[in-house]
Amino acid sequence: MKTYKDLPSDAGSNIIGQVTAQVNRLQKRLASVKHTVAIMSGKGGVGKSSLTANLATALTLKGNTVGVVDADINGPTLAKMMGVRSATLEYTSIGVKPAITALGTKLISMDLLLAEDDAPVIWNAHTQKDAFTWRSSMEVGALREFISDTEWGELDYLLLDLPPGTDRLPNVAELIPNLGGVVVVTIPSEVSQLIVKKSVTMAKDILNVPIIGVVENMAFYVCQHCGEEEPLFSAEEPLDSAFQQAILGSIPFDPKLARASDNGTSYLGEYPDAPASKVLMQMAEKIQAFFEN
């Protein structure tokens, strides 16, 4: 396979110069970020984006400056979850100013660039069949632009909400070689654990990215009548045995958390004493401790 450097001409596009300049901008942006954290799961539907939004809120409430990248280019949801779907991005000579939540968390998402709620992300090509060939490269390019062209300022934490799939972390690790750590999200079902284990292997054994811990989302529900905790899923193996990793926390299912995400309101702010809120705040403390040690 030929690389760009092997080509006799780039038809005047200066593609190498463009990519090099963008990489330099990315490194300059990341120089003002203390810690980068990827939130990932090999399986969709486990509540990863909701967890990212609430972890960002928890870290912000603890006095940190936090930025979030919605790295799911084709299925962005964080702008709605974090209450900034109607925000208008401001473009300046030094970059794009991110949307800012009521608490001060900064966010960049493809959803902020789409004119309509039902507008899909379509990559330009002669045909969509042709676009498929380049889609992965274009998604990586878009993610690079999100990080490098956004005017983040000084950040304590930059969280990246990755789309499902074990192939997503290598792209991020290539963009951010010194990625601080990974939070892996699962639900207590054997099917989910089977898939998510592959993500753990990818991070730990192949990419050598530190795993901050595993989160068990929707671990159980609390009966509104008797207060007893009941499991939602049927996995029999304990989470720490299944993953051989530190457990950041087990978050109970709470319909109010889902409603807060749909409404773009702060679950932690509205229900600070809820069991799920307490677990989320404890998880934020553990993430802070991970980087302090």
Q: Mean pLDDT for each consecutive 10-residue tract of the chain (293 residues)?
A: 53 62 83 96 90 98 97 91 93 92 96 74 55 62 88 97 86 90 90 85 88 92 78 70 81 94 96 95 97 88
The beta-strand segments (E) located in 53-116 are 66-70, 90-92, 95-97, 99-100, 106-109
Q: Where are the domains of the chain?
A: 32-292
* Whole-number pLDDT of residue 113: 86
- Looking at 1.10.287.110, 3.90.1150.10, 3.40.50.300, 1.10.274.10, the CATH number of the domain 32-292 comes to 3.40.50.300
For residue 160, list its beta bridge partners: 38, 69
**Cα(211)–Cα(181) distance, rounded to whole angstroms?**
5
**What pLDDT sits at residue 206?**
84
* CB neighbour burial string for 245-273, b if at least 16 within 10 angstroms, e if fewer: beebbbbbbbeebeebbeebbbbbeebee
What pTM value is reported for the model? 0.86
Residue 244, phi-psi category: left (phi > 0), alpha (psi -120 to 50), beta (remainder): left
